Structure 1
Amino acid sequence: MAASIKYDWYQSDTTVTITVMLKNAVDKNYSVTIEPNSVCLAADGIEPITIDLWNMINKEQSSHKATPSKVEIKLAKLVGIRWEALERKAITSSEPSTKKNFHDWNKISKDIEKQEAEEKPQGEEAVQDLFRKIYSDANEETRKAMVKSYYESGGTVLSTNWEDVGAKTVDVKPPDGCEFKKWN
């Protein structure tokens, strides 16, 4: 059975933006079909969604893009009026529009924070996280060695061995092919 998709929307005077929560969208071969009065999103392993829009849109000026945790569909309004809802559905008296359009922003915010916490850092951020972890888990001598070596070398050396760096000044050692210049 295919999983269902969570989505939300917001609008400006000229656009309606639909945010579809879909982790690793590119890897799931997602596709978006934009028509003047509807939008359809499909992806591997999920149940496709089709939205009959509240009002007509300009299909040629509309677009979509994927990020690591969502697909954002930006629709250009044909007429700059405020939409009462995203979908063209009749609202009955037993279902007031305030209830229909209520969003628990605290829950949405916590869900996004949880997703971001689960994502593994990459590149420079991963290296910084590694150094933070080494420093926080280290004993006092190791911390002193890290601070002293980094400071005295102008950021070119990072040592965790206090016996090596404690009794002498740490020399500047720029990478091969680079020259260290002291700024006055």
Structure 2
Amino acid sequence: MSKVPRHEFYETDEKLTLSIFDKGADPAQVVVKFEPRSLSYTNGDTALTLQPLKGQIDTTKSDYSVGKVKVEVRLVKVAQGRWGALEGDQPDLLTPSQAGYTTSEAVTSQRKKQKNWDGITTKILGSEKGKTSEEDPNVGGDSTVNEFFQKLFSDADDDTRRAMMKSYQESGGTTLSTNWEEVSKGRVEVKPPEGSEWKKWSA
């Protein structure tokens, strides 16, 4: 009857290192077989079989070395991530290469999906064209500034919009606040720039 050696492991996202304590093992007698979801170790009447492995391994990159106290087996994972155990019946995780693209392409694809939301937002804001000076006599000044405030207003929540409207109107255009809690307490005072004097034009 074969003897099962004591063994332990530690891992990173890319690799799992298995230590098989088989003191004085003869490298010429040690046989390690790598399969995608299994590993077998034999040395005379000492044997260890791990099947199925918790995840799939790259059999072409996995290797081992025989020392005086232990045999160190290095398993290179096909899909990055922690196993937490040597064996497990869970199905293989779909790797980027199996999905048809490399890891870098997978990251790029994910980023593109996130950017699509920015594109949708930009498209919506672009469709909200501001009124011309003929349509609204209050429109004027630097178009870039107008666009900035239009975007700020579009992205704001209801309280922020109320605060912006109330502060701008009550202050005669000298104050623009986004703090509704503060603005709602009372009338917003006119605050002309330093060195300037506020005058209300009569019709």
**Normalising to structure 2: TM-score of the pair?**
0.41
**Normalising to structure 1: TM-score of the pair?**
0.45
Q: Name the structure where strand makes up a greater proportion of residues.
A: 1
